[in-house]
């Protein structure tokens, strides 16, 4: 690339193409004042505040160095009298309108930092009229008296996060930033990602969590610790601010996944760890406290039924109970659920405990309720369950398909990149029965009939094959099974599928052509694909789309099942799966089992274990009598909760390790108080296959202990010769039996923070894009598997006429155990709601805020109804995070035969209006 030679303060320098004067100066250790410009994170320069003015020889007016690029031979002076006078004048004018530094909202803001540096902290000019503060939002406060109208918040909201809430309105002296139509922030459509707060250089936008009681002045932290966000699979890097051993704020860091961005949960959802309900002592069930499946935990008084115990006593009771069942009833009478919220090291140790201490493969975790069907299809076709490319690959794509996923809600930071790509011109195609925030940015939204994915996707494959849009060279070189697909697909012409999926044949063809013809198409999918009895078939169709068109293995292409929990990729890799040892090595393969037997000094069970829902069934059948559940809440997250809760109550011995007395822990014999995310170190693998390191930010409260320590203590008491010295020690053992971790060491992770596997060399970065030259199957080819149309297990009828679909809301996490105890999140979404189309609400004669009764063949709940135009007619959508109206009392436990995942996304339901008094009761 050509360099531009120019003179900077008398020195000969060179600019790279596109580099601004400010950036070149910075490279030469000169920092020019800047307020409306943010080099880190790198926002588009706007050049409006004029704090960065420099003099250019031969030019009459000064230039904004943040925006101006140099030309050859240009002579730039950043420190000339004229330039410095201008910089100072700008500052003095701005200082005039600010509250004095001593009484300002953030005396340590970027603004005051620069005022001090240019030696202008006072002003000769009269102050402008003061604006009223706006404290209507639970998370952020607006103090326009400190606003300098630099527009960073507008760029943050519109260009970076693409939420389009903040704008600049009015004119002249009345000009100001506004939310929507000048609404109070708390009543606007703001989704509280906090990007504006992070960008604001003056304290005009502040996180209220950091303010003093009067909500005016910031509190400063004692220390800052770099770690990760504990919520979703995006894996945002975060810096936590701590004061008096309490986390007071979270800020986005420049991690490879998030580049400083965060969402409402990551930025404002951290304080569940300080909630008074936190477990601080081991608990043992009182002898007279009978287990009753219908008994519910009272969140305000969760400790009835239990007494406090010492760690020694609690661990002894926990382990002895497990040993007794193992010795008396046999190794298959025990089972364990590990956690996708825990680290890789915890997951590895937990599955090792079940395989060597319990003696069977009865170990599973929430992946079974999540992407199990996607993984089944990916393993069958490609012999690899992970994504082929990171979500940021969307930035290089021409066509982006999002199917059965709602990323602005569930992977909000990943969604920002999809929106950035759409803004830049990529064609975004959303396929979802329900409309969503992303639809607004989409080129097409296909609102097809729920449960009809195979019909719709097969129609697309039909178009691609009959119109010759396949990539013949790719098919010949890298795939197998195409001929069978071509034969079978004849049954699915778009004209015939139109009636089944509800999308006009012409639209199906247009979308198929667009996907196939583009230079680079990528597919993202989520629970709308996987949580069906035909979830594996749904995923097979997506794989077939990519393989027949060669839209995989190149930049901007690929298959990306958006992983849910912060460490569900890692927990699966580490072997929390009943059919696989770590790294998906089948338990039945003697040759693959042997290295583990050698390393662990023990023979292992060659028979696959039971999955989540199968374990619940086996308890009912009397085959499983004891369980150890670490960091999962099946009494809320399993389908058909009556059945699941009965199973938990039936157990002779249940050990639960959690942060709270959850609905699950309520049925336990022993509850072990664990460390929360911010209280431990370990590695976590995000949806992109990125292994990242998390650090201990604060100490666990009271007697709560590290999960890794607790698992090890249970192991020791069950007779295992364990002596691990912490997470690094466990990680090192993992690298011996997990090929995926080749060339990754704990030291490397400490040094680099994040490494994406697979890695070819200890000194080279990992491979972001895989399957560039075929697949890790025996033949090296990807297998195309045709799918046929299967109806959902329980379809609406006269008795239960509507479809119940379940999922999530932005502010809450799964079973609510964490987020309903996070103050900001629970203030934003404080009560149980179900969503319905205005039309259906009229049919039922209900208004927003009325209570309805939802009833299925398995149970009933009473819940407030919210009107939502995104929900299609004849559907009720319900998040499953509310204990007082648990959606899973209603859901159908019918399973996909391959992935063993339940049909959370579809069952038949009846909705009726509730009389007012009933709701009030």
Query: For 40-160, where are the alpha helices, taking DSSP H only?
Result: 81-97, 110-117, 152-155
> What, of ligand MGD, Mo ion, none, does residue 633 touch, CB below 5 to 8 Å by kind?
ligand MGD
Segment interacting with Mo ion, rule: CB under 5 A, options 12-20, 369-377, 805-813, 892-900 = 369-377
Nearest-angstrom CA–CA distance, 342 and 336: 14
Of the candidate spans 172-180, 446-454, 482-490, 618-626, the one that interacts with ligand MGD by CB under 6 A turns out to be 446-454
506 to 545: interface string for ligand MGD, x by CB under 6 A: --------------------xxxx-x--------------
| 806 part of the interface to ligand MGD, by CB under 6 A | yes
Choose, by CB under 6 A, the member of 68, 137, 341, 705 that binds ligand MGD.
341
CB nearer to ligand MGD: give 426 or 889. Answer: 889
- Residue 849, classified by CB atoms within 10 Å of its CB into exposed (0-12), middle (13-18) or buried (19+), is exposed
Judged by beta carbon distances under 5 to 8 A according to partner kind, the member of Mo ion, ligand MGD, none in contact with residue 55 is none
Query: What's the half-sphere exposure (Cβ side, CA atoms, 13 Å) at 734?
Result: 32
- Helical segments of 526-610, H only: 527-530, 535-549, 568-573, 590-600
Applying CB under 6 A, among 384, 815, 837, 892 the residue interacting with ligand MGD is 815
Please identify which residue in 282, 631, 786, 796 interacts with ligand MGD, judged by CB under 6 A: 631
Choose among ligand MGD, Mo ion, none what residue 674 binds, the Cβ cut-off being 5 to 8 Å by kind.
Answer: ligand MGD
Range 580-609, binding ligand MGD (CB under 6 A) = none
CB 223 within 8 A of CB 242: yes
* Residue with Cβ nearer Mo ion (199 or 370): 370
Please give the Cα distance from 36 to 813 (Å, whole number).
Answer: 35
Exactly one of 256, 450, 582, 727 binds ligand MGD (CB under 6 A); that residue is 450
- Between 201 and 700, name the residue whose CB sits nearer to ligand MGD: 700
The answer to whether residue 706 forms part of the interface with ligand MGD (CB under 6 A) is no
Site for ligand MGD (CB under 6 A): which residue of 351, 388, 436, 569? 436
Q: Which is nearer to Mo ion, 564 or 893 (CB)?
A: 564
Planar angle of CA 629, 383, 582, nearest 5 degrees: 35
Question: Could you say which of 97, 364, 453, 829 contacts ligand MGD (CB under 6 A)?
Answer: 453
Give CA–CA dist 207/252, Å, rounded.
13
- Kindly state whether residue 576 participates in binding Mo ion, applying the rule CB under 5 A: no
The C-alpha atoms of residue 800 and residue 874 are separated, in whole angstroms, by 11
Among 657, 706, 837, 892, binds ligand MGD (CB under 6 A): 657
Q: Report the SS3 class of residue 199.
A: helix
Least Å from the CB of residue 436 to ligand MGD? 6
CA–CA gap between residue 520 and residue 556 (Å, rounded): 5
561 contacts Mo ion (rule: CB under 5 A)? no
Closer to ligand MGD by CB, 206 or 576: give it: 576
Of 235, 336, 359, 451, the residue at the interface with ligand MGD (CB under 6 A) is: 451
Evaluate whether 644 touches 614 at the Cβ level (below 8 Å): no
* Cβ closest to ligand MGD, residue 782 vs residue 807: 807
Cβ 429 to ligand MGD shortest distance, Å: 12
Nearer to ligand MGD (CB atom), residue 16 or residue 642: 642
C-alpha dist (Å) from residue 446 to 443, 452, 760: 10, 12, 41
CB of 537 to ligand MGD, least distance (A): 12
Given the rule CB under 6 A, which of 284-292, 350-358, 362-370, 738-746 is the region that contacts ligand MGD? 362-370
Helices 505-517 and 535-549, packing angle to 10 deg: 50
Check residue 821 for interaction with ligand MGD (CB under 6 A): no
Looking at the Cβ atoms of 409 and 460, the one nearer to ligand MGD is 409
User: What six digits make up the tokens of 488?
Assistant: 């079978």
Site for ligand MGD in 366-405 (CB under 6 A): 366, 369-370, 403-405
The three-class DSSP label of residue 530 is helix
Partner touching 427 among ligand MGD, Mo ion, none, CB below 5 to 8 Å by kind: none
Which residue's CB is nearer to ligand MGD, number 887 or number 894?
Answer: 887
| Coarse DSSP helix, strand, coil percentages of the chain, rounded to the nearest 5 percent | 35, 20, 45
CA torsion 242-246-250-251 (nearest 10°) is: 0
Ramachandran quadrant class, 451 (left: phi over 0; alpha: psi -120 to 50; beta: rest): left
Name which of Mo ion, ligand MGD, none residue 637 binds, using a CB cut-off of 5 to 8 Å depending on partner kind.
ligand MGD
Distance separating alpha carbons of residues 153 and 155, to the nearest angstrom = 5
Which one of 388, 824, 904, 907 is in contact with ligand MGD (CB under 6 A)?
904
The minimum distance between CB 565 and Mo ion, in angstroms, equals: 6
Q: Which residue has the tokens 């939802």?
A: 854
Q: Which is nearer to ligand MGD, 194 or 342 (CB)?
A: 342
Q: Tell me which residue has its CB nearest to Mo ion.
A: 564
- Among residues 40, 286, 711, the alpha carbon closest in space to that of 31 is found at 40
Closest CB to Mo ion among residues 318, 370: 370
**Of 55, 396, 432, 903, which lies in the binding site for ligand MGD, with binding defined by CB under 6 A?**
432
Residue list 370-409, contact with Mo ion (CB under 5 A): 370
Nearest to 429 by CA among 126, 438, 757, 883: 438
- The conformation of residue 490, written as its DSSP 8-state character, comes to G
Site residues for Mo ion, 266-305, by CB under 5 A, read: none
Selected range binding Mo ion among 23-31, 312-320, 560-568, 668-676, rule: CB under 5 A: 560-568
Count, residues near ligand MGD per rule CB under 6 A: 61
> Shortest Cβ distance from residue 614 to Mo ion (Å)?
18
Residues 6+ apart with CB under 8 A from 623: 332, 333
Distances (CA, A) of 570 to 7, 445, 563, 576, 690: 52, 33, 10, 9, 9
Using CA atoms, how far apart are residues 365 and 346, in angstroms rounded to an integer?
13
Q: Which residue lies nearer to ligand MGD by CB, 405 or 547?
A: 405
**Residues whose CB falls within 8 Å of the CB of residue 696, separated by 6 or more in sequence, listed in order:** 225, 678, 679, 680, 681
Per CB under 5 A, the segment of 68-76, 268-276, 559-567, 657-665 that binds Mo ion is: 559-567
Among 252, 359, 550, 564, binds Mo ion (CB under 5 A): 564
Q: Does 634 bind ligand MGD (CB under 6 A)?
A: yes
Q: What is the distance of C-alpha 699 from the center of its chain?
A: 25
Please check whether residue 530 is in contact with residue 374, taking contact to mean a CB–CB distance below 8 angstroms: yes
Give the three-class secondary structure for 421: helix
Question: Is 433:447 a contact under the CB 8 Å cutoff?
Answer: yes
What CA–CA distance (Å, rounded) separates 179 from 195? 14
Residues 112/142, Cβ–Cβ less than 8 Å? no
Q: Which does 631 bind (CB under 5 to 8 A by kind): Mo ion, ligand MGD, none?
A: ligand MGD
Nearer to ligand MGD, 55 or 669 (CB): 669
- Give yes or no for a contact between 427 and 401, defined as CB atoms under 8 angstroms apart: no
Longest CA pairwise span in the chain (Å): 93
Question: Is 677 near ligand MGD (CB under 6 A)?
Answer: yes
CB of 316 to ligand MGD, least distance (A): 19
The footprint of Mo ion (CB under 5 A) covers 370, 564
The footprint of ligand MGD (CB under 6 A) covers 232, 339, 341-342, 366, 369-370, 403-406, 409-410, 431-434, 436, 450-451, 453, 526-529, 531, 564-565, 630-634, 637, 657-660, 662, 674-677, 707, 805-808, 810, 812-815, 817-818, 880, 887-888, 891, 904-905
């Amino acid at each position: 690339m050509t360099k531009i030679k120019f003179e900077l303060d008398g020195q000969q320098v060179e600019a790279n193409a596109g580099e601004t004067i400010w950036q070149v100066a910075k490279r030469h250790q000169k920092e020019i004042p800047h307020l409306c410009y943010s080099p880190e994170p790198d926002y588009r320069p706007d050049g409006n505040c004029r704090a960065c003015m420099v003099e250019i020889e031969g030019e009459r007016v000064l230039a904004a160095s943040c925006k101006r690029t140099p030309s050859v031979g240009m002579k730039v002076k950043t420190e000339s009298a004229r330039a410095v006078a201008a910089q100072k004048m700008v500052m003095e004018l701005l200082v005039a309108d600010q509250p004095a530094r001593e009484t300002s909202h953030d005396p340590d803001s970027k603004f005051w930092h620069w005022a001090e540096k240019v030696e202008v902290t006072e002003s000769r000019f009269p102050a402008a009229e003061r604006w009223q503060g706006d404290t209507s939002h639970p998370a952020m406060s607006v103090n326009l008296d400190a606003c300098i109208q630099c527009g960073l918040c507008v760029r943050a909201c519109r260009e970076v996060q693409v939420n389009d809430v903040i704008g600049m309105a009015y004119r002249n002296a009345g000009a100001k930033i506004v939310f929507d139509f000048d609404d109070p922030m708390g009543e606007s459509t703001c989704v509280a990602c906090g990007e504006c707060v992070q960008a604001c250089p003056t304290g005009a936008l502040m996180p209220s969590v950091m303010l003093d009681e009067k909500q005016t002045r910031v509190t400063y932290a004692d220390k800052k610790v770099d770690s990760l966000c504990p919520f979703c699979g995006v894996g945002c890097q975060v810096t936590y601010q701590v004061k008096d051993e309490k986390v007071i704020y979270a800020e986005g860091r420049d991690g490879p996944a998030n580049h400083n961005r965060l969402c409402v949960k990551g930025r404002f959802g951290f304080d569940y760890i300080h909630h008074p309900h936190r477990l601080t002592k081991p608990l043992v069930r009182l002898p007279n406290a009978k287990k009753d499946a219908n008994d519910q935990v009272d969140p305000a008084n969760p400790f009835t039924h239990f007494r406090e115990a010492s760690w020694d006593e609690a661990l002894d009771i926990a382990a002895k109970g497990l040993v007794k069942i193992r010795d008396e009833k046999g190794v298959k009478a025990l089972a364990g659920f590990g956690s996708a919220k825990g680290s890789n090291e915890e997951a590895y140790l937990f599955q090792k405990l079940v395989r060597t201490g319990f003696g069977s493969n009865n170990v599973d975790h929430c992946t079974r309720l999540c992407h199990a069907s996607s993984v089944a299809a990916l393993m069958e076709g490609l012999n690899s369950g992970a994504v082929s490319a990171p979500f940021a690959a969307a930035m290089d794509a021409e066509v982006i398909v999002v199917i059965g996923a709602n990323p602005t809600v569930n992977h909000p930071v990943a969604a920002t990149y999809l929106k950035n790509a759409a803004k830049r011109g990529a064609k975004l195609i959303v396929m979802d029965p329900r409309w969503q925030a992303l639809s607004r940015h989409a080129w097409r939204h296909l609102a097809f009939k729920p449960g009809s994915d195979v019909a719709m996707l097969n129609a697309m494959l039909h178009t691609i094959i009959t119109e010759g849009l396949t990539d013949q060279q790719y098919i010949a070189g890298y795939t197998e099974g195409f001929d069978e697909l071509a034969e079978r697909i004849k049954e699915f012409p778009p004209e015939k599928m139109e009636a089944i999926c509800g999308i006009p044949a012409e639209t199906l063809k247009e979308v198929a052509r667009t996907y196939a013809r583009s230079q680079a198409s990528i597919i993202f999918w989520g629970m709308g694909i996987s949580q069906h009895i035909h979830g594996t078939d749904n995923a097979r169709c997506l794989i077939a789309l990519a393989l027949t068109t060669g839209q995989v293995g190149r930049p901007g292409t690929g298959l990306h099942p958006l992983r849910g929990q912060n460490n569900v990729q890692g927990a699966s890799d580490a072997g929390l799966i009943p059919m696989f040892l770590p790294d998906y090595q089948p338990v039945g393969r003697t040759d693959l089992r042997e290295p583990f037997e050698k390393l662990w000094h023990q023979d292992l069970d060659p028979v696959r274990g039971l999955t989540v829902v199968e374990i619940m069934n086996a308890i009912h059948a009397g085959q499983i009598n004891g369980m150890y559940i670490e960091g999962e809440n099946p009494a809320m997250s399993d389908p058909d909760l009556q059945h699941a809760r009965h199973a938990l109550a039936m157990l002779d011995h249940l050990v639960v390790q959690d942060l709270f007395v959850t609905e699950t822990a309520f049925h336990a014999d022993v509850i072990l108080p664990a460390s929360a995310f911010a209280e431990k170190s370990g590695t976590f693998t995000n949806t992109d296959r990125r292994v990242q390191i998390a650090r201990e930010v604060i100490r666990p409260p009271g007697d709560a202990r590290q999960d890794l320590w607790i698992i090890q203590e249970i192991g020791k008491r069950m007779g295992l010769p364990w002596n691990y010295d912490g997470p690094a020690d466990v990680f090192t053992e993992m690298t011996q039996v997990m090929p995926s971790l080749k060339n990754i060491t704990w030291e490397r992770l400490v040094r680099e923070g994040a490494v994406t596997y697979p890695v070819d060399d200890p000194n080279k970065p990992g491979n972001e894009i895989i399957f560039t030259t075929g697949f890790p199957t025996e033949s090296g080819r990807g297998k195309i598997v045709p799918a046929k149309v299967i109806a959902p297990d329980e379809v609406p009828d006269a008795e239960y006429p509507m479809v119940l679909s379940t999922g999530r809301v932005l502010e809450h996490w799964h079973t609510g155990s964490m987020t309903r105890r996070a103050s900001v999140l629970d203030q934003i979404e404080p009560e149980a709601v179900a969503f319905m189309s205005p039309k259906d609400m009229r049919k039922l004669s209900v208004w927003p805020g009325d209570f309805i009764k939802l009833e299925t063949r398995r149970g009933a709940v009473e819940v407030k109804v919210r009107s939502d135009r995104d929900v299609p007619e004849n559907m009720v959508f319900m998040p499953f995070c509310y204990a007082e109206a648990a959606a899973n009392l209603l859901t159908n436990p019918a399973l996909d035969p391959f992935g063993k995942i339940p049909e959370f996304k579809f069952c038949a339901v009846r909705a009726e209006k509730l009389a007012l008094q009933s709701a009030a009761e």
